[in-house]
Amino acid sequence: MTRPPARRADELRASGIAEMMRLAAQTPGAIRLEVGEPDQPTPSHIVAAAFAAARDGFTRYTPAPGLPSLREALARKIAEHNGLPTTPEQVVATSGSVFALSAAMLAVLDPGDEALVPDPGWPNYRSALHLIGARAVGYPLVREAGYEPDLEALRRLVGPRTRALVVNSPSNPTGAVFAPATVRALVELAAEHDLAVISDEVYEEFVYEGAHHSPAAFDRDGRVITIYGFSKTYAMTGWRLGYARATPAVAAAMGRIAEAMTGCPSSVAQKAAEAALAGPRAEVDAMRARYRRHRDLVAATLGEAGLLAAVPRGAFYALVDLAHIEADSTTLARRLLHEQGVATAPGETFGPSARGMVRISLATEGRQLEEGCRRIIRFAQGAADAGATGGR
């Protein structure tokens, strides 16, 4: 008899996002608002650099933490763009920012340890912690406060096994951009309890109000590990290249973990990344402006209809509140797809506080996004009318 999968694998469930992607792919003409992915192509100069690398035979293994030339370029970017003095020894290039996050967790957590993760928050935080044998403890982001964290509630959740705090700003799925005082307070809380801070900043380029503030800017003792990526900034989701900044010791540990689990990042993708860093930023700026217009569109449609949980200030997502129709967000997402042909991500996949909500992506062609919003409003109005007439 064939052995069943190991328990940790068997207990790991696909996210609600993946399930809705599968269903949407089977629905002809569906408006796809469920996927957190830029709908534009990778800029041409990046593709040209990758093509040249492949054509010239640059297709062999590289060092596990990335090419020295790429790590130098990343250290310059972090120093100049993020304002954080950085050496190449502090940087690790990884096979996607998802793996950078997992490697960071593996570097600072042992089985049985606990990590505080945002609720609502990206579901991969919880799944990665499950796979390494650590426990996720959700801390509340407060809707009435623009989805900033409840610091006192967070403090009460710190226990004897708590070893890390995961922070995500700009945020998926809320679109929150934490105020500098909040970020400073999070780092001070982590220092008080000797916690590592794993800061997911893959949406750093997409801020529409205020400014992005990194926990590393307030870090006095090297406890912050910052996760960056190329996927969102340069529309390179399929290239699978991320990077992290940490102390040299933690970066070296992450490099050893990468060697054991992925070998090294793609050589061709690393050359593409070097071209992205060195090339023009006009297309990044254009994406930011485009997503801001989409944010304004959503605020003017779903917001005025009373369906927007909060106006996003960054990233490219919005939470839509449909709890007055149905508490189960998976049911809501399925009904929206079946009845209106609009694919969304179930709120509960991001945590229990997003029950009764769905997430939509603003990184969608404008006319499709506008039509998707119209259909969501139609869905909400139809449900309200049905309720007023007893469902008849």
CA distance 71 to 188: 29
Q: How many residues does the chain have?
A: 392
Q: 231: part of which helix (H) or strand (E)?
A: none
pLDDT at residue 392, rounded to an integer:
37
Note the pLDDT of residue 370.
97
Which amino acid is present at 302?
L
Q: How many helices (H) and strands (E) does the chain have?
A: 13, 13
Find out if CATH 3.40.50.300 is the number for domain 7-41+282-386: no
Residue 302, SS3 per DSSP: helix
The per-residue pLDDT for range 288-343, each reduced to its tens digit, is 999 999 999 999 999 999 999 999 999 999 999 999 999 999 999 999 999 999 99
| Domain layout of the chain by residue ranges | 7-41+282-386, 44-278
Q: Which residues contact 390 (CB under 8 A, 6 or more apart)?
A: none
Tell me which residue of 97, 159, 84, 98 sits closest to 127, measured CA to CA.
Answer: 98
At the top level of CATH, the class of 44-278 is: alpha beta
Report, as an integer, the average pLDDT of 367-380: 97
> Half-sphere exposure of 298 toward its Cβ, with a 13 Å CA cutoff?
33
What whole-number distance in Å separates Cα of residue 282 and Cα of residue 264? Answer: 30
Q: For residue 108, what are the CA distances in angstroms to 84, 100, 115, 194, 261? A: 21, 13, 10, 12, 16
Is the pTM above the cut of 0.85? yes
The tokens of 238 are what? 């399929």
pLDDT at 375 over 90: yes
* DSSP strands (E only) in the chain: 31-32, 91-94, 114-119, 135-142, 148-149, 162-168, 196-200, 224-229, 242-245, 317-321, 342-343, 345-346, 357-361
* Residue 10 pLDDT: 84
Assess contact for 37 and 172: CB atoms under 8 A.
Answer: no
Mean of pLDDT values over 24-36: 94
CB atoms within 10 A of CB 256: 14
- Region of 80 (left: φ > 0; alpha: ψ -120 to 50; beta: rest) is alpha
Cβ atoms of 114 and 163 within 8 Å: the answer is yes
DSSP-derived letter for residue 28 is: T
